[in-house]
Chain A
Amino acid sequence: MPGTYIPSEYLPVAIIFLFAALIGLGALVAGLLVRPRRPYVQKLYPYESGNPPVGEPRYKFSVKFYIIAMLFVVFDVEAVFLYPWAVAYDKLGIFGFVEMMLFIFILLIGYIYVWKKGAFNWE
């Protein structure tokens, strides 16, 4: 097709994904032929120090770090903005620097706020 861009430098990436998947899946499938398979009820229990498992493992409980998980999204997006800025830093000059400092400064205020609010303390 005319006008279709084929990123040829990514071909090795595709091939290495294929090979890696082949190693993983191939070893498991080939192993099917030689490994024994003798399941019984007790063997298929989830491990709990040799006792029959008690209760469900997926019961509801409080994950203390959920606030951190939300902050992670914010700061990860910040990190994403930093990459193109860093690569183009030489071309942006003083303007780019000031702009990014403003951006980091605003985030820093939020960072200090959540720290003071105790988001980084779990008790």
Chain B
Amino acid sequence: MPETLWTVLKVFIVVNVVMLHVAYVVYFERKVIGHMQARLGPMRVGWHGLLQPIADGIKLFFKEDIIPSSADKPVFYIAPVIGVIAAIASFAVIPMWEGFSLANINIGILYLLALSSIGSYSIILGGWASNSKYSFLGGLRSSAQVISYEIAMGMSLVGVMMLSGSANLTDIVNAQSQTWFIVSQPVAFFVFLMAAVAETNRTPFDLPEAETELVAGYATEYSGFRYGLFFMAEYAGMFAMSAVATVCFFGGWKGPDVWFLASIPGVVWFLLKIYGFIFFYFWIRATLPRYRYDQLMGLGWKLFIPLALANIIFTGLIKLL
């Protein structure tokens, strides 16, 4: 029994740390985008706006929860909760430093891909249940996005599994002690990165939300904390995807083994790499315009899937020789 209690405690701590990061990554985003546009970003609440996420959370908590009279109530209620569960549960298999992951299961990659698919259900269901035209279009676009990018994403990770001979994320990190897989699998990394951006509905693939066309897309009819849950799910999903990219292509918790750098604990390297990816997300958001959705589906089917397949064949050939 004490062991079970210890597990519960570990999960509790990890979930809370993740939630804290999710709250502050919103602040980070507003600061980064602000400075990229020659603004300051949030400055009022606390020193340099540091308490802004907390203020936002409290505000959302006290806002009225408006449920449109024509909405499909039960689905409308649970859709954002599904998103939050799928996004947070991804962290169960991520190895955060040497020998630490909550659940060291041997199908880690499959588990992550499954959860990221479930996450898009929350958007499709939420858009459909709202019974509003904007939401409906947002949900429809989300389904278009899912069927265009999920295959490429799954296939891009096949190369990683072939090189490491395992779908366990800890094994994958250990297989990268010599060279990171970004060196041997650059094409797979490129495909995965683009698919991850599409999967988390970020610019330039943020069609389901598309605030300039669809008001707020799938989230148009949501308000108060229910809307906040969608927001949390999106940012936690970004964290999860960055963590997968770090683990599968950038050597996870491993840092350079030279000089004083070797004494820095693994979790610091892990977080640094994750925040590198998070910064990349914000960077492309501030740089690129949005795709049109037939362009986006064309990109997924005509470019990423052939690329990912070619990468698998190529990797197989190289390993045989």
Min C-beta distance of B242 to chain A, whole Å: 18
**Interchain CB contact (< 8 A) of A12 among B7, B306, B312:** B7
Min C-beta distance of A108 to chain B, whole Å: 7
Q: Are B132 and A57 in contact (CB under 8 A)?
A: yes
Q: Are B132 and A9 in contact (CB under 8 A)?
A: no
How distant is the Cα of A53 from the Cα of B11 in the complex, in angstroms? Answer: 46
Min C-beta distance of B280 to chain A, whole Å: 25
Closest to A115 in B: B302
Which residues of A lie under 8 Å from residue B91 when comparing CB positions? 16
Q: Are A35 and B63 in contact (CB under 8 A)?
A: yes
Which residues of B lie under 8 Å from residue A43 when comparing CB positions? 66
How distant is the Cα of A44 from the Cα of B73 in the complex, in angstroms? Answer: 13
Check if B301 is an interface residue, CB within 8 A of chain A.
Answer: yes
Check if A2 is an interface residue, CB within 8 A of chain B.
Answer: no
Task: Enumerate B72-123 residues with CB–CB distance to A below 8 Å.
Answer: 80-81, 84-85, 87-89, 91-93, 102-105, 109-111
Q: CB-CB contacts of A48-75 with B at 8 A, as 1s and 0s? A: 1000010001100001110011011001
From A38, A82, A86, residue with most partner B Cβ within 10 Å: A86
Which residues of B lie under 8 Å from residue A24 when comparing CB positions? 80-81, 84-85, 229
Consensus secondary structure, chain A interface:
helix
Known: A16-B15, A89-B316. A79 touches B8 (CB 8 A): no
Segment with Cβ contacts to A, from B29-37, B151-159, B254-262: B151-159
Min C-beta distance of B156 to chain A, whole Å: 10
Check if B215 is an interface residue, CB within 8 A of chain A.
Answer: yes
How distant is the Cα of A87 from the Cα of B162 in the complex, in angstroms? Answer: 6
Check if B165 is an interface residue, CB within 8 A of chain A.
Answer: yes
How distant is the Cα of A94 from the Cα of B15 in the complex, in angstroms? Answer: 44
Q: Are A16 and B132 in contact (CB under 8 A)?
A: no
Min C-beta distance of B212 to chain A, whole Å: 14
Q: Are A75 and B151 in contact (CB under 8 A)?
A: yes
Check if A3 is an interface residue, CB within 8 A of chain B.
Answer: no
How distant is the Cα of A9 from the Cα of B3 in the complex, in angstroms? Answer: 12
Which residues of B lie under 8 Å from residue A39 when comparing CB positions? 66
How many chain B residues touch A (Cβ–Cβ < 8 Å)?
82
Check if A117 is an interface residue, CB within 8 A of chain B.
Answer: no
Segment with Cβ contacts to A, from B48-56, B177-185, B217-225: B217-225
How distant is the Cα of A69 from the Cα of B140 in the complex, in angstroms? Answer: 12
Which residues of A lie under 8 Å from residue B15 when comparing CB positions? 16, 19-20, 23
How distant is the Cα of A38 from the Cα of B103 in the complex, in angstroms? Answer: 45
How distant is the Cα of A35 from the Cα of B65 in the complex, in angstroms? Answer: 8
How distant is the Cα of A43 from the Cα of B306 in the complex, in angstroms? Answer: 49
**Interchain CB contact (< 8 A) of A44 among B61, B68, B85, B294:** B68
Q: Are A46 and B89 in contact (CB under 8 A)?
A: no
Which residues of A lie under 8 Å from residue B215 when comparing CB positions? 47
Q: Are B65 and A89 in contact (CB under 8 A)?
A: no
Min C-beta distance of A17 to chain B, whole Å: 5
Could you give 21 example pairs across A and B, Cβ below 8 Å? A13-B92, A19-B11, A21-B81, A34-B62, A35-B224, A46-B70, A47-B215, A53-B132, A57-B136, A63-B140, A65-B144, A65-B297, A69-B147, A75-B151, A83-B109, A83-B161, A86-B159, A87-B166, A89-B316, A104-B309, A120-B301
What 3 pairs between A and B have smallest CB-CB spacing? A46-B132, A24-B81, A20-B88
Given contacts A21-B81, A68-B301, A76-B150, 15 further A-B contacts (CB under 8 A): A13-B111, A20-B89, A27-B61, A27-B228, A35-B63, A45-B68, A46-B71, A46-B131, A47-B215, A57-B132, A57-B135, A65-B147, A69-B143, A82-B155, A104-B313
Chain B residues in contact with chain A, CB under 8 A?
Answer: 4, 7-8, 10-12, 14-15, 19, 61-71, 80-81, 84-85, 87-89, 91-93, 102-105, 109-111, 130-136, 140, 143-144, 147-148, 150-151, 154-155, 158-159, 161-162, 165-167, 215, 220-221, 224-226, 228-229, 294, 297-298, 301-302, 305-306, 309, 312-313, 316-317, 319-320
